[in-house]
Amino acid sequence: MESFGDITTYAWRRLPLILLFCGGYLVYRLMAATKLTDAFVHWALRRCKGSAPLLLLYVIGTAAVLSSFIPNTIAVLTLLPVLKRLDRDFADRGASGMTTVLMCAAIYGAAIGGMGSMIGSPANAVLFAALDLFNVPGRERLNFFNWFLWSVPLVALFVLAAWGVAAGLGLPRSARGVRVVAAAPDGPSGADARQRYGGRLFWTYMGFWVLEAVAGQVAPGFGRVAPWVSLAFTVLYLYLLFIRPAPALPRASGPLLRVRDLVSGVPRRGLAFIILLGGLFAMVHWLRLDERAVALAEPLLRGDLSPHVLFLATILAVIFLTEVLSNTAVVAAFFTIAYAAAKAHGLPPLHLMLGVSLASTCAFMTPIATTTNALAFGEMRGASLRVMLLLGLVLNLAGAAILTGWLAWVLPLIY
């Protein structure tokens, strides 16, 4: 058993990573308090001019951008009021059946955005713990900056794939020639002073962690002082958020955030469906069905498999298990399996373990896959489960093919 000193030494060495993930929550609260997310949603949707196919593209893209930096559920919650109004507008113009495809577009974008940054998905936090636990070679090269080098084009490719499925297969014929108003009538026409200040703080956060990652790569001795530098920045950032007065408005003054803002505005809509989902996952875990399901998938990765087949089998197993089981339980178990399978096949474990983390975000198919799916399905009344399953199945298979190619040809160029 490791001593307390070993644990504290490890925690200090990994302090920049810990502060990065904790700061991600502060960024989410910053965007929620200043309504930057709402402003971004209305700005993005205004650009599509009300065209139904373009509207789906902007919904997917907007959800992907937001969920790269804020929780997926919050990104979908931000979109839901606009989606409901758009659904009513389409129905008033004789275009029926838009409920499901609008809901799916938001779900797809939110799930895809989880790949967009290191803080985009809780599975990434589990990934780094697993990489350290197994002492995986190359893990030190994973940082906030170079993650974007491969994640941004990957997200763009997934957005296009999701748009092809939603607009090509899910869009009702009656909606193809219909145009609606794509922004709320009372949507913001421009950013106010507090929003601009919040935007500057957002880019300050992004800029620091990019520079910290670059410094870690180009300055050999930076790793020794990185915890101190990251801690100093976090203290300064807390001061800018919670103490320094932000630009005052008629209905808002003082610092940008208050302590109560850390827990205020917790989503309450659709909680009944989410509570039911939590109870289902608890029962599955209590019956150890999740462990049995993962154990059944493990033999698929044995034997003499080519790298492409191993990547594809792992990704498909993770994707479809996360459609019915807790993502956290699946990735926690599969990191061990992926590490052993990669070693047995003479492949770098880093690539396959990254694939497990990325695949766990591809929950496109069922309403019980994630709390985000459950919330959206519960809120968008009239959504068709059959259509959601069929569209999600197609996107799951397309996503597995995309990730397989990415693991085989793109990630080895960077790591």
Number of domains in the chain: 2
Averaged confidence pLDDT in the chain: 83
pLDDT in tens, 369-388: 888 898 888 888 889 999 99
Question: Could you tell me if 32 and 167 lie in one domain?
Answer: yes
Is the predicted pLDDT of residue 2 greater than 70, yes or no? Answer: no
Q: What is the spatial distance between Cα 18 and Cα 294, in angstroms, rounded to a whole number?
A: 29
- Report the pLDDT value the prediction gives residue 272, as an integer from 0 to 100: 52
Domain boundary among the residues 216, 235, 262 is at: 262
Question: Could you tell me if 187 and 210 lie in one domain?
Answer: yes
Stretch 156-167: mean pLDDT, rounded? Answer: 97
By mean pLDDT, which of 14-23, 174-183, 229-238, 320-329 is the weakest?
174-183
Question: Could you tell me if 177 and 315 lie in one domain?
Answer: no
Domain boundary among the residues 198, 232, 262 is at: 262
Question: Could you tell me if 115 and 31 lie in one domain?
Answer: yes
Question: Could you tell me if 21 and 60 lie in one domain?
Answer: yes
Is the predicted pLDDT of residue 270 greater than 50, yes or no? Answer: no
Question: Could you tell me if 184 and 56 lie in one domain?
Answer: yes
Stretch 18-42: mean pLDDT, rounded? Answer: 80
Stretch 388-395: mean pLDDT, rounded? Answer: 97
Question: Could you tell me if 193 and 295 lie in one domain?
Answer: no
Q: Token pair of 284, please? A: 């599955």
Is the predicted pLDDT of residue 76 greater than 80, yes or no? Answer: yes
Domain with 389, as residue range(s), is 271-414
Single-letter residue type at 375: L
Question: Could you tell me if 12 and 139 lie in one domain?
Answer: yes
Is the predicted pLDDT of residue 264 greater than 80, yes or no? Answer: no
Question: Could you tell me if 241 and 310 lie in one domain?
Answer: no
Stretch 30-48: mean pLDDT, rounded? Answer: 77
Chain position carrying tokens 């941004």: 152
pLDDT in tens, 275-310: 555 555 566 556 665 566 556 666 666 667 788 999
Is the predicted pLDDT of residue 395 greater than 90, yes or no? Answer: yes
Q: What is the spatial distance between Cα 369 and Cα 244, in angstroms, rounded to a whole number?
A: 41
- Report the pLDDT value the prediction gives residue 286, as an integer from 0 to 100: 65
Question: Could you tell me if 325 and 360 lie in one domain?
Answer: yes
Question: Residue 81: is it exposed, middle or buried by C-beta count within 10 angstroms (0-12/13-18/19+)?
Answer: middle
Domain boundary among the residues 200, 229, 262 is at: 262
Question: Could you tell me if 233 and 305 lie in one domain?
Answer: no
Percent residues over pLDDT 70 in the chain? 85
Question: Could you tell me if 115 and 140 lie in one domain?
Answer: yes
